[in-house]
Amino acid sequence: MRYSISPPPILTSKPADSGIFQVFECLDGELEYEQDVPGKISELPENSEPLPELTWEFRIRCNKEAKVAYGPWVDRQREALWQYFFPTLLEDCPVTPEPTVGQTRIFKTVRFKLWLACPTVIDLYFMAKMKLNQIHAELPVHGSYFEASFPFSTNPNGFDTSLFMNIKQPIVRTNLSYTQLCKADEIDINVHIHYPRMWNSIQIWTIDLIAKKPQVYFVFEHKCFFQALLNDWSSSVPPDIYSFAPFIYDMTVKGDHLELLIPCNQGNWIDCTNGIGRSPQQQ
């Protein structure tokens, strides 16, 4: 699964494919595609249950050495592709009419599911002051998964996108001198995005993060690190009236048996990857 629209900040592909940012790789996996054949609406008896929604799903199962790479640059390419195939309508999005008796049923949602049945590596790359930075996550335990639901119809109040990811026993590091960032027994991330019918009305992003037995490491440099990530992900040029859309982030973070570790030595960091750099006082 590869694409190239503008020069990437780092080349993650093989030398033979130079110039390509590889966002997904799996040495062995399974791909399933399921789509119902819609029939026509028939008259239902009174007090009968509504018909189940039509199924339209993509399913991927990774069985060996999965790697995922993402970041602000990749997200900008995703946005460019989305705008090419689904350009923004500078007007109210019309409501999708419900089919009546004798008409063909319509698809309302397309779903995507990704199962990680193997050790997986997830890398997040971003730029800060012409320097490449990285968040590196290792998922050594099988069983993590990702689900996404995308709307294919518009309701009177708009439409909604849902994303959910279950991550088992992640170990997350950065490329800072103090590499540790966090680890946990399990992390659930649930994102719900509501888009109104008016293209430039307020979007509501509801983000819930629940971690079981998280262990978080914090040094002051992490503040600058994540600020640089947000700066790279956002645009440095103010959007014009034809592209600006306001949004609200409603974020909830919960931790079960949270452990926060803050190194407080003179340098405010301790490299625990090996014992070479430790001073006698630290040992």
pLDDT of residue 4: 47
pLDDT of residue 9: 63
Q: List, in order, residues 6 or more apart from 250 with CB less than 8 Å away.
A: 204, 205, 206, 207
Task: Give average pLDDT by consecutive 10-residue segment, the chain, 283 residues.
Answer: 54 58 91 94 75 93 94 88 83 90 92 96 91 94 95 93 96 93 96 93 95 93 92 78 85 93 67 51 43
Single-letter amino acid code for the residue at 189 = I
pLDDT of residue 211: 96
Distance CA 66, CA 69 (A): 10
Task: Please answer whether residues 49 and 26 qualify as being in contact, where contact means their C-beta atoms are separated by less than 8 angstroms.
Answer: no
DSSP 198: B
Number of Cα atoms under 13 Å in the Cβ half of residue 183 = 9
pLDDT of residue 5: 52
Cβ neighbour number for residue 144 with a 10 Å cutoff: 23
Closest Cα to residue 210, out of 191, 229, 230? 191
pLDDT of residue 129: 83
pLDDT of residue 128: 86
Strand extents, DSSP E, the chain: 2-3, 21-22, 24-35, 56-70, 109-116, 120-128, 131-139, 144-151, 159-168, 171-174, 180-183, 186-195, 203-212, 215-217, 247-256, 259-261
